[in-house]
């Protein structure tokens, strides 16, 4: 005599994920089958009807409906606390439970040694390559007699479980500041300037602007027209190109509004050009207070800039002579004068070789991805016109203040909890359950 089907529930978000999995062509067939069982259960079908549709027997359908019922409370906790990982949690529920299998042939010590080799440079093993592949890593651990034999797939599984990707690399920028205390102090000053900017703007109308130059922007014209995107085929761009020249963009990013202010397009970035750019920016509010965040380029602490700031701030004391005496004597003395917060116009300098702390670099990255990459420009004037149009478009539709959370201290990675469904012997307790539908 047929039994009673397990009665479960499913929230709207859970149902949306199940429906997506039941139609997926990329997840495992078993996951698709089990998601379809639960979707049909929501629609009111009996176990016998579901079994006939998915190609299982009635008892197997009941097993998966019961497992969902037992895991539902845990899934609700996950949906309320980590909603962006709900799909991952549902995949855990629909995946096979661990099976005992035969005893492992590779010990934990051997696995640790395999992972240690993966963290080494291949050159230490005498191989003329820069990145390990799974096959070359397998050959190396066998050669070193860490294991007698191991498959390429098993090496890949060990790397995946340990979140190691020796075949990949990323670029990073290392500061050249030798004194860690100096770096920490200067980085903290920059970060604090970002964090204080909204309050200063609201109380005193102080403008905080991140400034830098994007140099050698190339006017590149492809030697053949692009082939447009088609079903099953991405846009194709001619590899060869003609280079028509370059331009330099000097721009400032208002930290409070996120808008790009006073963009300047010129062939070079010399000392007078930077002073003219700062002057045009200050003229937006001639009597207001301004804080500029800049890097350590020599033009950002030039004698011309000191003379202009002294004139604008009413400083009548002798400034000395460049490379000889007084405020103009050296880069250090000029930076100290320009950093004086008692002036109406002051500058905050990044640590050496730390442009990643400058918010304008975020905009330059957006500019590269959305405007320059894949662009086709027949001349420098056409490139400059496109840059101006994009900046106007950005300010109108995309500009927003960046949520700056770095404070100058090393960032700590937040541990992401791992969802363990009830059939794997963990019971989670949590907040209120979201609205649900009855799974009959």
Per-10-residue mean pLDDT of the chain, 440 residues long, equals: 64 92 91 92 90 91 91 87 88 84 85 94 91 94 94 93 88 78 89 93 94 93 89 88 92 95 90 93 94 93 93 88 87 92 94 90 94 90 94 94 77 58 51 46
**398: its two tokens:** 């995309």
pLDDT value, residue 423? 61
Q: Give the model's pLDDT for residue 424.
A: 60
Residue 232 confidence (pLDDT)? 85
CA–CA separation, 266 and 352 (whole Å): 26
Q: What confidence score (pLDDT) does residue 96 get?
A: 86
- What is the DSSP secondary-structure string of 302-313? -HHHHHHHHHHT
DSSP 8-state secondary structure symbol assigned to residue 434: P
Q: Cα angle at 427 between 425 and 433, to 5 degrees? A: 145
Residue 431 confidence (pLDDT): 44
Q: What are phi and psi of 85, to 5 degrees?
A: -115, 20
Contact between residue 89 and residue 81 where contact means Cβ atoms under 8 Å apart: no
Do residues 38 and 10 touch, judged by C-beta distance below 8 A?
Answer: yes
Which secondary structure element, helix H or strand E, spans residue 394, and what is its range?
Answer: helix 380-397
110: left (phi over 0), alpha (psi -120 to 50) or beta: alpha
Q: What is the pLDDT of residue 321?
A: 87
Give the phi and the psi of residue 436 in degrees, each rounded to 5. -135, 165
């Amino acid at each position: 005599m047929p039994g009673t089907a397990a009665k479960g529930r499913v929230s709207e978000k859970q149902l949306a994920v199940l429906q997506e999995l039941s139609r997926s062509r990329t997840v495992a067939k078993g996951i698709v089958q089990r998601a379809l069982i639960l979707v049909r259960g929501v629609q009111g079908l009996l176990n016998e009807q579901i079994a006939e549709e998915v190609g299982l027997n009635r008892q197997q359908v009941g097993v998966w409906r019961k497992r969902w019922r037992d895991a539902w409370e845990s899934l609700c906790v996950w949906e309320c606390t980590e909603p962006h990982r709900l799909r991952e949690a549902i995949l855990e529920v629909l995946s096979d439970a661990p099976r005992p299998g035969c005893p492992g042939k590779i010990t934990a010590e051997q696995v640790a040694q395999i992972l240690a080799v993966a963290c080494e440079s291949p050159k230490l093993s005498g191989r003329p390559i820069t990145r390990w592949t799974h096959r070359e890593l397998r050959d190396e651990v066998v050669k070193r007699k860490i294991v007698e034999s191991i498959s390429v797939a098993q090496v890949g599984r060990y790397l995946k479980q340990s979140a190691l990707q020796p075949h990949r690399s990323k670029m990073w920028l290392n500061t050249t500041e030798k004194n860690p205390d100096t770096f920490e102090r200067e980085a903290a000053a920059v970060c604090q300037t970002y964090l204080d900017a909204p309050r200063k703007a609201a109380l005193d109308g102080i403008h905080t602007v991140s400034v830098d130059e994007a140099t050698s922007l190339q006017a590149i014209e492809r030697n053949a027209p692009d082939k447009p995107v088609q079903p099953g085929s991405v846009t194709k761009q001619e590899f060869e190109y003609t280079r028509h020249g370059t331009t330099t963009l000097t721009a400032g990013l208002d930290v409070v509004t996120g808008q790009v202010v006073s963009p300047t397009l010129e062939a070079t970035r010399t000392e007078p050009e930077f002073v003219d750019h700062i002057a045009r920016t200050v003229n937006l509010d001639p009597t207001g207070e301004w804080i500029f965040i800049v890097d350590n380029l020599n033009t950002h602490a030039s004698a011309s800039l000191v003379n202009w700031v002294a004139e604008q701030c009413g400083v009548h004391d002798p400034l000395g002579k460049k490379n000889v005496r007084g405020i103009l004597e050296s880069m250090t003395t000029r930076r100290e004068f320009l950093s004086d917060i008692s002036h109406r116009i002051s500058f905050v300098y990044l640590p050496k070789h730390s442009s990643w702390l400058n918010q304008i670099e975020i905009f330059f990255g957006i500019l590269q991805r959305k405007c320059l990459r894949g662009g086709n420009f027949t001349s420098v004037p056409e490139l400059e016109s496109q840059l101006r149009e994009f900046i106007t478009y950005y300010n109108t539709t995309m500009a927003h203040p960046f949520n700056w959370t770095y404070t100058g201290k090393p960032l700590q990675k937040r541990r992401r909890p791992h969802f363990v469904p009830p059939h794997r012997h963990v019971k989670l307790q949590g907040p209120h359950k979201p609205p649900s539908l009855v799974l009959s």
